[in-house]
Amino acid sequence: MESRNAPRWGSLNSSYFVGAASSFLSTVLTFPIYKTIFRQQLHTLTIRAATCQLGKEGVRHLFRGLAPPLMAKTVQGTLLFGTQGSLQHFFSKGGTPGAKSRAFSGCLSGAIEAVLLVPFERIQNILQDGRNNAKFPNTRTIMQEFQTYNKREWLTCGMYRGFTVILVRNMIGSAIFLSCKEPLRDLLTYPGLPAWAPSLGAGAVNGAFTSLTLYPLSVIIANMQAEVGSNLPQVKKVALRVWEKCGGKVSLVYRGASLIILRSCITWGVTNSIHDTLSK
């Protein structure tokens, strides 16, 4: 397994390179699904209503906002698989990593992701909200808006809005995914199956479970980050507003969860399969 050896920069089977390549490909394939989910989270819409909303905006707006997540997910894959390999190698002292070292390295890699990738997610969520199409047609106009903020506003309402929630989500999510990644793959390995199939299945199941578990945090993040202004409500008020918008029903909080499962199955199944195939 790739985690038994320290990753090497510049080699084709480097966990850093493989993580970047697999995440890049899966992001392009699943972006329309993600955008539909985002609209559901933001406006509490049904799948049909969210799809119709995107259809009315036209094909030219379908991939609007792709650049930030494409860069972010590529960096995320590099960090998730690359730092996980390095950290596991360090904590296990070159031996076979145990459950604790996988979980701890996952938490650390998730924290690093949060610090580096929050600005990408912030810009992506602003661009994906149709209400911002006129005022913020591109990334440059968003950056110009944030430049008018003072230092405190730049952190709380600008580029790092929602950082605390994202930090918690990423640390827990990375710990779960990386802890279960290899055990699930080994469990699904049967004689006669193609080499990529167990990794595809393990990534799909693992990604769907992780995303579904953390879905309420993602809803709060989407609502926080789509807003633009220098005096915005913080986490507790946004969470309360989301709860009230959903009429106090957990079922409405989880509206869009079916697409989350579909997207996560595809995204992490493809990512995991490509990663494990290229790592060999």
What are 104-157's pLDDT values in tens digits? 888 988 898 899 889 989 998 998 888 888 899 989 999 999 999 998 899 899
Nearest to 106 by CA among 125, 85, 127: 85
- pLDDT for 213 equals 93
Residue 28: pLDDT band with limits 50, 70, 90: confident
Q: At what angle do helices 215-226 and 163-187 cross, to 10 degrees?
A: 140
Greater confidence (191 vs 274) lies with: 191
Residue 93: pLDDT band with limits 50, 70, 90: low
44, 55 contact by CB (below 8 A):
no
Greater confidence (250 vs 79) lies with: 250
Q: Is the pLDDT of residue 185 over 80?
A: yes
Using a pLDDT cut of 70, give the percent of the chain over it.
Answer: 92
**3-state class (DSSP) for residue 103:** helix
Q: Is the pLDDT of residue 82 over 90?
A: no
- pLDDT for 188 equals 93
State pLDDT tens for residues 96-119: 667 787 888 889 888 988 998 899
Residues 170-182, mean pLDDT to the nearest whole number: 91
CATH class of the domain at 11-279:
mainly alpha
How far apart, in whole angstroms, are the C-alpha atoms of residue 153 and residue 254? Answer: 31
Residue 238: pLDDT band with limits 50, 70, 90: very high
Residue 10: pLDDT band with limits 50, 70, 90: very low
Q: Per the confidence metrics, is the pTM higher than 0.75?
A: yes
Q: CA 218, 170, 96 angle in degrees (round to 5)?
A: 145
- pLDDT for 13 equals 46
- pLDDT for 96 equals 63
Greater confidence (229 vs 68) lies with: 229
